[in-house]
A and B are shown apart, each in its own frame.
Chain A
């Protein structure tokens, strides 16, 4: 098998590694029990998540309608997961409910920018937010 590059073996052998803690196991039966304990494979876990996402789509119907619906209400973050949003986006929306990402999800990009600008004007005053004229 000299001619075969390493990475091509990986899907063939489908190796799964895990750690087993043998602390406190004093008898062969106890060690056997810990070694043979089945842990769900990473791939199975990923398949389960994908299935959950697919189910979410199926319930919601067309994707665009689903995303539009989510924009109107982002309180239920589970829906965002089903809609295929990134984990970081969801986290950011939860941590800063009045922040740029949360507003974008709820109102869309243009309206969110308007709200942010309006808020900034109230805070700083209009003059500071005017774009400087270019010097020639």
Chain B
């Protein structure tokens, strides 16, 4: 909740803002960063809430055609929540364009502007009562291997049992992870 008021003092305007926010009680123990360590390149990560698989596959195929990017790995976060990961190493502005072009979660689109580490984060650990994401399927692309591919993120996807044959491996076999707080809403939804 935000309250704001402007007071006029002689020729000056004094803007007073009072803001109330609920405490973020749930600690997410792990989320993967989109950034490739030691570089300014990012992989494409998309976070969808309430979307059907048919619609998602159509969109991902369209994105692959439009931006000529590789395979998307789709993970299930809850009933109709999905994460999509493409390990192509792209410039920040390209990734931003792809994410803005997509119909993913609106807050996710703004994530690097809010996050002090300037990256998108997808969780891999439990969140409140929600389980860790699970692998669902791969949306294959004719442009697979056309761009550089992050070595570290490919290795990370082994966690879900997804083995990727890299055609243009790039970067170290390292990834950046983040821990962060999130709201209690997730607890209520799961119950």
Which residues of A are in contact with B by a Cβ distance under 8 Å? 1, 3-4, 6-10, 12-23, 25-28, 31-32, 35-36, 41
A–B pairs, 12, beta carbons within 8 Å: A8-B19, A14-B181, A15-B115, A15-B116, A15-B117, A16-B178, A20-B175, A22-B152, A28-B161, A31-B156, A35-B124, A36-B125
Count of B interface residues, CB-CB < 8 Å: 35
Nearest-Cβ distance from residue A30 to partner chain B, whole angstroms: 9
**A13 proximity list for chain B (CB < 8 A):** 24, 180-182
In the complex, what distance in Å separates the CA atom of A6 from the CA atom of B115?
Answer: 8
Nearest-Cβ distance from residue B127 to partner chain A, whole angstroms: 13
**A20 proximity list for chain B (CB < 8 A):** 174-177
Nearest-Cβ distance from residue A33 to partner chain B, whole angstroms: 10
Q: B167-191, CB under 8 A of A: which get 1 and which 0?
A: 0000011111111111000000000
Contact B114 A9 (CB under 8 A): yes
Q: Which label, helix, strand, loop or mixed, suits the secondary structure of the A interface?
A: mixed
Residues A17 and B178 in contact in the complex (CB < 8 Å), given A6-B114, A31-B158: yes
In the complex, what distance in Å separates the CA atom of A19 from the CA atom of B160?
Answer: 19
Q: Which of B159, B176, B181 contacts A17 (CB 8 A)?
A: B176
How many A-B pairs have beta carbons closer than 8 Å: the answer is 82
In the complex, what distance in Å separates the CA atom of A12 from the CA atom of B114?
Answer: 11
**A3 proximity list for chain B (CB < 8 A):** 2
**B177 proximity list for chain A (CB < 8 A):** 17-20, 35
**A6 proximity list for chain B (CB < 8 A):** 113-114, 116
Known: A12-B21, A13-B24, A26-B158. 10 other contacts (CB 8 A): A7-B116, A14-B24, A15-B116, A16-B180, A20-B175, A25-B158, A28-B159, A35-B159, A36-B29, A41-B179
Q: For the complex, is B37 an interface residue (Cβ under 8 Å from A)?
A: yes
Closest 10 CB pairs of A and B: A22-B155, A31-B159, A23-B173, A15-B180, A16-B179, A13-B180, A17-B178, A22-B173, A21-B174, A17-B117
